[in-house]
Structures are given as structure tokens and as C-alpha cells.
Amino acid sequence: MSGLSDHWAGLSPVAQQFWIAVLKVAVIFNVLLGLFSFMTYAERRLLAFMQFRLGPNRTGPFGVLQPIADGIKLFFKEEVIPEGANRWVFVAAPAVAVVAAFLSIAVVPYGGPGLFQIADLEVGILYLFAISSLGVYAIVMAGWAANNKFTMLGGLRSAAQMFSYELALGLSWVGLIMLAGSFRIQDIVTAQKGGLGLLNWFCVVQFPAFIVYLIAATAEVNRTPFDLPEAETELVAGFHTEYSSMRFALLQMAEYVNMITVAAVGTSLFLGGWLSPLPLLPDSPLWFFVKFGLLLFFFIWLRGTLPRFRYDQLMHFGWKVLVPVATLWILVTAGLVTAGVPGFRR
């Protein structure tokens, strides 16, 4: 081992940084893949418990090998591209979905500066804003390309829903950017540090924005009660009705990774990221994963609890409630900061 460490010390700083970056990317990517497969299992299992069913429990102990079995099965399924479909767009959509989904998580910090983040961008928030809005292209492409009425409706609905709620999502961040004075997510996390532990977090200081974020984020990732783009009971599966085998798996992966992303972003921006909830306990990446797990559970819990919105209700809620509330809250925050109210002064 000393040979390796000598070799490491002999490398130039640029080469060291390069290898650290490669290692980080490799580790985080694999963790995400593992998390995705685990989430497919956990979601089915938890939903089953909430509905007094058993869920997948035959593959391995408690069914934990179910994601692997699913993966293998999907690899051995044939490729079906519908006759009237636009082949290029149909083929490209799942790939676009996966790439867009994975990329946005690159700026989320799991721990303090340094190792626990792929990229500590100065413009982290802007990056998130930009990349997360790419996901809608994939869904519209998937919905349009198949030349199926159900997917077309799913794609259209999804486009309108995603941009309506994206607006509220973006507006819900403005208040906390004001308090942190930075676009860098690492700065936003440390801005939530203070003597009061979890009372300093932005989910308390920016409570209305936090609620707007949670609702808008659920809608952004098309989860119940905002799963109108998929709506099994009316659109069979919405934009991915015509997808099967590996392409279906990729679309599914994009959905779960998107959910993971909004949970991770919510943890960093509103729940203090890797900060500890009590003033006496040390900060640690472990805290990040605890809060992150709770948010993921929250999304599954919602799905087990709430029915679906009707389309007009969805649009009304986004435009007449979320957008005005978020805008008003920006003004309130601005006023409180200007007046120098404690907690808004930092």
C-alpha cells in the first residue's frame, strides 16, 4: 500500500484532482444506481404495507432481490417500436430522460466542502434550475413520438403540468437565496447553521416556501397526487404506454432518479443538508442521509394516501395558489430582511 501512497504523493495536484473527481463520479453514480433499484423495491413494499398487501416478497429474503430480477427480465424483452411512430424521437426520449435526471444531482452536497459532492458550482441553483427543466423534453418526446392517443395526451398534460409547477418551484427558492446571499448550494447549507439547530433551517425560517417546494417538487416528478401524465386508470400509463423492455426501464429509472434528486435538493435547501438537528451533535453526512430518507419516504407515503387531482384543479392550484403564495412570500422575506428582523438578518 505504501507504494500506492508514494505514487499518489508523486502526482501533480492537477492529476490528483483528476483522480479524486473520477473516484467521486464513480462512487456517486453507483450509489445512485443502487439507490434507484432499492427505491423501486422500497416503494412497492411500503405501498403494499399501506394497503394491507404483502408486496414483492418471494425473490430473496423479504424480496430484496426483486429489482435485480426485474432488471434481468427487462434485458430479455424484445424491442417493439410502433408502426406509426417517429423512430428517432421514440428511441432518443428514454436516453434524454436518464441523462437529464442524473445530471441535476451533480451539485447536491452530501457533506461539507470537498469530497461529498460531484461539483461545487458557484451557480449551483441556476444549474439545478436549468438541468431539471430538461426532463420535460424527454416526456414530451416520449409522448409525442409513439403516435398513440394515450401517450400524446400524457405528454401534453405533462408538459403543461411541469412548466406550471416549475415556476412555483423556482420562486420558492428565491427567499432562501436572499437569506444565504449565494447560488452555491454549499453556502445555502451553511447559511442554515446556527445556535438553534433545526430551528435555523430554512424549512422553519422559510416555512411557506418549503411547503410550496414540497408540492411543486411532487408535481415536477409526476408523483401522486400529480401523476396525471401517467394516470394508469385513465391514460393506461400516459407517456410511456408504448415503451417496453429496456427503454421502459430507462424511463422508469429517470422517474426514480428525479424523485431522488428533488428529495436531495429539498434536504440541502430546506432541511439543513448535512447539518445536525441539535446544537450539541456534530454535523455529518449521516444527517443528510437521514433527512433524505425521510423525504423519500414522504413521497411514497403521499402516493399511498392521496387520490389524483383532476386536470383543471391541477392547473388552477398551480397558477392561482402556488404562484401567488410563492411571490407574496418573496416580498414578505424581502421586507423582513430589509427591516432586519432576527432570523432574517443572519
Partner 1 sequence: MPSAAPSASYLTSHSAILAFLLVVVGFVAVNLVLWKIIRPSRFSEEKLTTYECGENPTGSAWIQFNIRFYVFALLFIIFDVEAVFLLPWAVVFREIGPLAFLEGLVFIAILAIALAYVWRKGDLEWVRTEDRQV
Q: Which of 51, 79, 233, 342 binds partner 1 (CB under 8 A)?
A: 79
Q: Are 271 and 242 in contact (CB under 8 A)?
A: no
Hey, what amino acid is at 183?
Answer: F
Element holding 218 (H helix, E strand) = helix 207-220
Residue 89 interacting with partner 1 (CB under 8 A): no
Does residue 170 belong to the site contacting partner 1 (CB under 8 A)? Answer: yes
Query: Which residue, 218 or 241, has its beta carbon nearer to partner 1?
Result: 241
Is the distance from CB of 168 to CB of 161 less than 8 angstroms?
no
* The residue type at 69: A
Rounded to a whole number of angstroms, the distance between the first and last alpha carbons of the chain is 47
By CB under 8 A, which span of 2-10, 69-77, 291-299, 301-309 interacts with partner 1? 69-77
Q: Which of 151, 267 has the CB closer to partner 1?
A: 151
42 near partner 1, judged by CB under 8 A: no
- CA atoms of 32 and 71, how far apart (whole Å): 16
The binder of partner 1 chosen from 22, 196, 199, 341 (CB under 8 A): 22
Write down the residue that cell numbers 429539498 correspond to. 266
Instruction: Name the minimum Å distance from CB 117 to partner 1.
Output: 9
**What residues between 91 and 150 interact with partner 1 by CB under 8 A?**
95, 98-99, 102-103, 106-107, 118-122, 125-126, 129, 144, 146-150
Joined together, the cell numbers standing for residue 197 give 439547530
Instruction: Please provide the DSSP assignment of 12-39 as one string.
Output: -HHHHHHHHHHHHHHHHHHHHHHHHHHH
Rule CB under 8 A: is residue 337 a binding residue for partner 1? yes
Asked if residue 255 binds partner 1 (CB under 8 A), the reply is no
Choose, by CB under 8 A, the member of 152, 203, 263, 295 that binds partner 1. Answer: 152
Of residues 223 through 242, those in contact with partner 1 by CB under 8 A are 236, 241-242
Please tell me whether residue 332 binds partner 1 under the rule CB under 8 A: no
- Measured from the Cβ of residue 218, the count of other Cβ atoms closer than 10 Å reads 22
Residues 325 and 212: beta-carbon distance below 8 Å:
yes
| 37 binds partner 1, rule: CB under 8 A | no
